[in-house]
Amino acid sequence: MQNGMYGRNDRLIKTKRLDAYRRRKKLPDPTRCRSCGSVYAKGRWSWDQAPEDAHQASCPACQRVADRYPAGLIEIEGPFFADHQEEILNLINNIESLEKGEHPLQRLMETRTEEARAVVTTTGIHIARRIGEALSRSYSGELSFEYGDAQKTIRVHWKR
């Protein structure tokens, strides 16, 4: 028998990673988050109004906040941050307002600051990357991204 008849045996087996915050079944339309009030309808979460008799559940962002399990981690450090802390934190909050307005699952979870360092956690990877890119665009500096867990988490590092 030829080896080619049954396919190649030297390929790596890739296991499928499951996202604990992604539901296996669709929620009923409409569903209102019991914590933040966002509404799931037609396959996505939004800030629309839901009828009073809407199904109740927690959205993935509120579940992440409750579990204290961020999808994004942003590390900001350097003497520039120490000198411009208030300005940089305002930029981060403005980005969150814009992102959360369009995408209810993209939110800040926590911001911890020290003298020349801050650690910001987010419920989604997109908002974390957007914050990192805004810091780099506004203030230059060194920016790096590191995806993990089959691109379900991100670590952003910005320094100046």
What pLDDT tens digit does each residue of the chain (160 aa) get?
Answer: 455 555 555 566 555 556 667 777 888 899 999 999 999 999 999 999 989 999 999 999 999 999 999 999 999 999 999 999 999 999 999 999 999 999 999 999 999 998 899 999 999 999 999 999 999 999 999 999 999 877 889 999 999 9
In a domain, 55, yes or no: yes
| Contact predicate 96/108, CB 8 Å | yes
Regarding beta strands 108-113 and 153-159, do their DSSP bridges make them parallel or antiparallel, or are they unpaired? unpaired
The whole domain housing 120 covers 70-159
Same-domain pairing of 52 and 103: no
- pLDDT at position 62 is 97
In a domain, 74, yes or no: yes
Question: Would you call 82 exposed, middle or buried from its count of C-beta atoms within 10 A (0-12, 13-18, 19+)?
Answer: middle
Which SS3 state, helix, strand or coil, does residue 120 take?
strand
Same-domain pairing of 122 and 78: yes
C-alpha dist (Å) from residue 120 to 61, 79, 131: 15, 17, 10
Same-domain pairing of 147 and 81: yes
* pTM summary value: 0.83
In a domain, 95, yes or no: yes
In a domain, 2, yes or no: no
Q: What is the CATH number of the domain that holds 147?
A: 3.30.70
Strand order in the sheet with 108-113: 108-113, 117-122, 72-77, 153-159, 142-148
Same-domain pairing of 85 and 124: yes
Same-domain pairing of 154 and 88: yes
Same-domain pairing of 126 and 98: yes
Same-domain pairing of 80 and 152: yes
Same-domain pairing of 99 and 127: yes
What is the domain count for the chain?
2
Same-domain pairing of 77 and 154: yes
- pLDDT at position 21 is 73
Q: How far apart are CA 66 and CA 21, in angstroms?
A: 12
